[in-house]
Structure formats: C-alpha cells, structure tokens
C-alpha cells in the first residue's frame, strides 16, 4: 500500500541534483500499485521507479513527500537554467544595448556581494 494519498504535495528528486520538480498526487492506478501526478507522470505507488536499460537496471528519479525548502531549490534550479540559456544565446547582434548589459551585470554583482556578506555574517 502507498504512503501517499490523493492531494499530497510531492517532490520529484534526481540522484545528483536533488529536488527537480514539484507535483501533486492526482490518482492511483492498477489497484493502487501505481500513481499519477499532476504533471502527468506515472510512478510506482511507493514513489520509486526502476528503469530497464540494455539488460541492466539503474535507479532514476524518485518521488518523496514535499519537504520545506524543496520549492526554493526547484526555483533556484530553474532560474539558473534560464540564466544559462540566456547567456548562451547572447551575441553582439542581441537587441540589448551595452548600457543595458552593464546594468544587468551590475545587478548580478550587487546580489552576489550581498549574498556573500550575508553568508559571512551567518558563519560568524
């Protein structure tokens, strides 16, 4: 039997990156052996899912109950991904002007410095 219930908020984890995305249990399948999440993905009812690949088994992502901080981790992960994509697509032909790019860099530097100072104060 599953530890999850319909309506439970859950976090999909990866083995290396931690919390990857958030979802909600929407229904159970196959007499309770499987469950479907709000993102449409289907999992074993225990939240673990094994994949078969070229004759061997390896563990892929899994589902756990939502924990405080999971949403912050997922949001940070997505923001970093968007920044990486934006930076990869940035060229001299970009519609952004030099001064606009300087303002973006100044803001990033100011935020980095503030976060570093806050972390230093916490460590003291």
> Do 124 and 79 sit in the same domain of this protein?
no
> Do 74 and 63 sit in the same domain of this protein?
yes
For residues 124 and 121, give the distance between their C-alpha atoms in angstroms, rounded to a whole number.
Answer: 5
pLDDT at 52: 43
> Do 57 and 113 sit in the same domain of this protein?
no
Stated pTM of the model = 0.74
Mean pLDDT, each 10-residue run in order, the chain (124 residues): 87 87 93 89 81 54 93 94 94 93 96 93 82
pLDDT at 115: 94
Bridge partners (DSSP) listed for residue 36? 27, 42
> Do 61 and 21 sit in the same domain of this protein?
yes
């Amino acid at each position: 039997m599953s530890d999850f219930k319909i309506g439970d908020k859950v976090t999909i984890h990866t083995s290396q990156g931690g919390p990857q995305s958030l979802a909600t249990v929407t229904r159970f399948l196959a007499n309770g052996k499987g469950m479907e999440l709000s993102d449409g993905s289907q999992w074993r009812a225990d939240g673990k899912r094994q994949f078969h690949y070229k004759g061997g088994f390896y563990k892929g992502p899994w589902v756990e109950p939502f924990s405080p901080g999971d949403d912050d981790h997922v949001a940070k992960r997505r923001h970093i991904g968007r920044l990486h994509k934006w930076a990869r697509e940035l060229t001299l032909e970009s519609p952004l002007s030099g001064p606009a790019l300087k303002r973006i860099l100044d803001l990033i530097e100011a935020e980095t410095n503030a976060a570093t100072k806050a972390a230093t104060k916490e460590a003291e």
